Amino acid sequence: MVARPRIEVFEQRAADYDAWFRGPAGRVLFPIEADTVRLVLQGAPRPWLEVGVGTGAFAAELGVELGLDPAGEPMLYARRRGVTCIQGVAEALPFRDGSIGALLLVVTVCFLEDPTVALREAARALAPGGRVIIGEVTADSAWGRAYRKLGEAGHPFYAPARFFTMRQTEELLAAVGLRATRYASTLVQPYARLPQPEPARAGVAEGASFVAIAAARA
């Protein structure tokens, strides 16, 4: 039995969610977060799949050809952005063993009911030499703490999110036989409603709130 994912908010508010990418915070954060993910994605074998593709902004920006999401409504946006969409859940992937070169979870692990089940599926679907790529705001960072507060105050998108520290993410990966091989990071600035652009950095910068991790089979 697979738990019903916490998708209702994304089904009902796809337009609001997609508008974030063009808003005052999103239009700064989205490109630097995409650049950060790109640093650990480039060179991975094809095909590339984004699990939790949503409206497809990251997938389109990063040249990811396949997208999976339990919510149908946001994928209508992803499809318009040229992403091949498949409705499904991370916990029961409809992909053959060893078929995916890069499986991306960009700001998705925080919304999963059971990340361990999802990551076990990701590891199963991974092709030889493939990478599972996680991009997340870390729980113990300035932005992670701010998002958690927003969630506790009832923010529709942050309320269902559960953020992890980088160590917790590495433990989740290790539990399914994956090992982190590359890191990149950004967002060393303090939380602000109107963030400033900043570069994506290889490795984990001191104080970085957004981290991208590429993991391979251990």
Partner 1 sequence: MARLWLPHHYNRERVHDEEVRARQMKHDLMEILVCPVCKGELTLTVQQESGDEIVAGNLHCAKCNEDYPIEDTIPNLLPPELRK
Q: Which lies closer to partner 1 via its Cβ, residue 1 or residue 153?
A: 1
Q: Which lies closer to partner 1 via its Cβ, residue 72 or residue 203?
A: 72
Does 73 participate in binding partner 1 (rule CB under 8 A)?
no
CA-angle at 83, arms to 32 and 20, nearest 5°: 40
Structure token pair of residue 42: 């480039």
Using CB under 8 A, count the residues that bind partner 1.
28
Does 70 participate in binding partner 1 (rule CB under 8 A)?
yes
Q: Which lies closer to partner 1 via its Cβ, residue 1 or residue 194?
A: 1
Does 99 participate in binding partner 1 (rule CB under 8 A)?
yes
Q: How far apart are CA 134 and CA 127, in angstroms?
A: 17
Instruction: Please give the C-alpha separations between residue 1 and each of 5, 92, 176, in angstroms, as whole numbers.
Output: 12, 10, 19
Q: How far apart are CA 166 and CA 26, in angstroms?
A: 23
Candidates 78-86, 106-114, 136-144, 149-157: pick the segment binding partner 1 (CB under 8 A).
78-86
Does 82 participate in binding partner 1 (rule CB under 8 A)?
yes
Q: How far apart are CA 98 and CA 179, in angstroms?
A: 17
Does 47 participate in binding partner 1 (rule CB under 8 A)?
yes
- Owner of token pair 């650990």: 40
Candidates 62-70, 108-116, 159-167, 208-216: pick the segment binding partner 1 (CB under 8 A).
62-70
Query: What is the helix (H) or strand (E) element at residue 172, kind and residue range?
Result: helix 166-175
Does 93 participate in binding partner 1 (rule CB under 8 A)?
yes
Does 84 participate in binding partner 1 (rule CB under 8 A)?
yes
Structure token pair of residue 160: 């269902």
Does 75 participate in binding partner 1 (rule CB under 8 A)?
yes
Task: Report the nearest approach of partner 1 to the CB of residue 95 (Å).
Answer: 5
Which of 34, 85, 123, 133 contacts partner 1 by CB under 8 A?
85
Q: State the pairing for strand pair 84-87/178-186.
A: unpaired
Q: Cα(first)–Cα(last) distance of the chain, in Å?
A: 28
Which of 28, 34, 89, 123 contacts partner 1 by CB under 8 A?
89
Structural contact between residues 89 and 78, judged by C-beta atoms closer than 8 angstroms: no
Residues that bind partner 1 (CB under 8 A): 1-2, 4-5, 47, 63, 65-66, 70, 72, 75, 79, 82-89, 92-97, 99-100
